[in-house]
Amino acid sequence: MMLRSNPKKREIGGIVVCPTRELAVQVHQVCTVLIEAHRKEDVNMPLPLLAVGTIRSPAADLKAWNEELQSDIVIGTPGRIEDLICRYSEFQLASFECLILDEADLLLSMGFSESLESILRSLPKWKRVGLFSATMGGDVKQLARAGMRNPVIINVSVGKKKSDGADCEKGKEDSTPSSLTNYYTIVDLDRKLDRLVNFILAHKDEKIVVFFVACVCVEFHGLALQKLTQMRKVNIQTIHGKMNQKRRSLSLDNFLKDANKGGVLLCTDVVSRGIDFDVNWVLQYDPPTDPSCYIHRVGRAGRANKIGSSLLFLTEKEDAYIEFLKLKKVPLQELPENLSGAPMLPADKDAV
């Protein structure tokens, strides 16, 4: 985008589409930092526009773009970007050059296919498209065929480092980073919350993300943990798709505000992809049915070769999941006692 020759005002040159508001905000922040650095050479370089739902209305986005930013890069979620480029003629696309679809598989699984098709139809036929996806299922390949001309596929795999000068065996690479250790624990259904509390207290000085299968589970466990006497000094935050954007942003900020202090974030898969922050532990309270979902979740820890750990809660009837993940090249080991934590007090068991 910086190499564009004589870009005109009020003409969009690039669009970045993200599946969640949190990811769009993060991409916008990174893009802003990069552009600010280059504005020392070109003071007229415009800052990017962030366009996501619930933060402000489409009309407010348009006003900010017209009067303040005059951005040639728009970053946002599918619905809002579709709304802006399809309904408002002020967004000129004659010199459009580049479309980025970030986490394309998640964009499709979240039901944004119609919005993506509408965006693609609205853009000039001659453009560059970058489609980034953790998995390449049939729906992603179909989207690539529909929106890209002569696509080139670049495959990036994650494997363990070579040791003692020996090459890794072909096809034996793990699906998770080598800096990430994956644990499991077998626990009775009626003792899962007990085990969760024990673990959090044993690691209260670390950053922990706990994934649940549904929004209501996040709300219930958030309230339950906050009522426990032992948990009163623990920073517990919740985030899920049914929360409004203000609450979601506040929860994430409260969890991240002090990198040197511990904290617990209870969440759904709304934070399982793309968002970049340092986490010591990723816990999965229930095993996901899709192994790729497991991999995306634990990917919050062990990023960029940093040391991280994950823990999967299983009941005795779910122990076959261990072998299932091994077949998917996700090795698991049982959680040792020294990492599991201390028992709860009787009074806290009654509170639960």
31-63 per-position pLDDT tens digit: 988 888 887 777 667 778 888 766 677 788 878
Q: Are residues 103 and 222 in the same domain?
A: no
Identify whether residues 259 and 203 lie together within a single domain.
Answer: yes
Per-residue confidence (pLDDT) for residue 200, from 0 to 100: 95
Q: Same domain, yes or no, for 231 and 338?
A: yes
Cβ neighbours around 143 below 10 Å, total: 23
H-helix or E-strand spanning residue 57? none
CATH of the domain at 122: 3.40.50.300
pLDDT(167) > 50: no
Residue 345, pLDDT > 50, answer no
Q: What is the rounded distance in angstroms from the CA atom of residue 211 to the CA atom of residue 348? A: 23
**280 in the same domain as 326:** yes
Q: Are 14 and 100 in contact (CB under 8 A)?
A: yes
Residue 49 CB partners (closer than 8 Å, separation 6+): 61, 64, 65, 69, 71, 73, 74, 75, 76
Are 211 and 310 contained in the same domain?
A: yes
What is the C-alpha separation between 18 and 22, in angstroms, rounded? 9
Domain shared by 128 and 27, yes or no: yes
Tally of structural domains, the chain: 2
Tell whether 277 and 186 lie within a shared domain. Answer: yes
Q: Residues 190, 129: one domain?
A: no
Position 126 in a domain? yes
Query: Is 3 among the domain residues?
Result: no
Q: Does residue 94 share a domain with residue 221?
A: no
Q: Does some domain include residue 166?
A: no
- 4, part of any domain: no
Question: Of how many residues is the chain composed?
Answer: 352
> What is the DSSP secondary-structure string of 117-144?
HHHHHHS-SS-EEEE--S---HHHHHHH
Query: The whole model's pTM is what?
Result: 0.68
pLDDT grade for 208, boundaries at 50, 70 and 90: very high
347 pLDDT exceeds 50? no
Which of 147, 171, 191 is at the close of a domain? 147
* pLDDT at residue 333 tops 60: yes
* Tens digit of each residue's pLDDT (9 = 90 or more) over 247-280: 888 998 899 888 788 999 999 988 877 667 788 9
Task: Report which residue type is found at 117.
Answer: E
User: Of 255, 269, 274, whose CA–CA distance to 100 is shortest?
Assistant: 274
Q: Please tell me whether residues 218 and 281 are part of one structural domain.
A: yes
How many contiguous H segments (helices) and E segments (strands) does the chain have? Answer: 13, 12
Cα separation, 144 vs 304, in Å, equals 28
Residues spanned by the domain of 201? 180-351
Residue 173 lies in a domain: no
Residue 175 lies in a domain: no
Query: 191 with 270, same domain?
Result: yes
Task: Assess if residue 228 is contained within a domain.
Answer: yes
The DSSP 8-state label assigned to residue 167 in this structure reads P
pLDDT for res 16:
95
Residue 98 lies in a domain: yes
Which tens digit of pLDDT belongs to each residue from 108-137?
Answer: 888 899 999 999 988 988 889 999 887 777
Instruction: Tell me the H-state helices in the chain.
Output: 21-38, 58-64, 78-87, 104-109, 113-122, 138-147, 192-202, 215-227, 245-256, 291-298, 320-327, 337-340, 346-351
Verify that 128 and 209 share a domain, yes or no: no
Q: Which of 128, 147, 166 is the last residue of a domain?
A: 147
The SS3 of residue 164 is coil
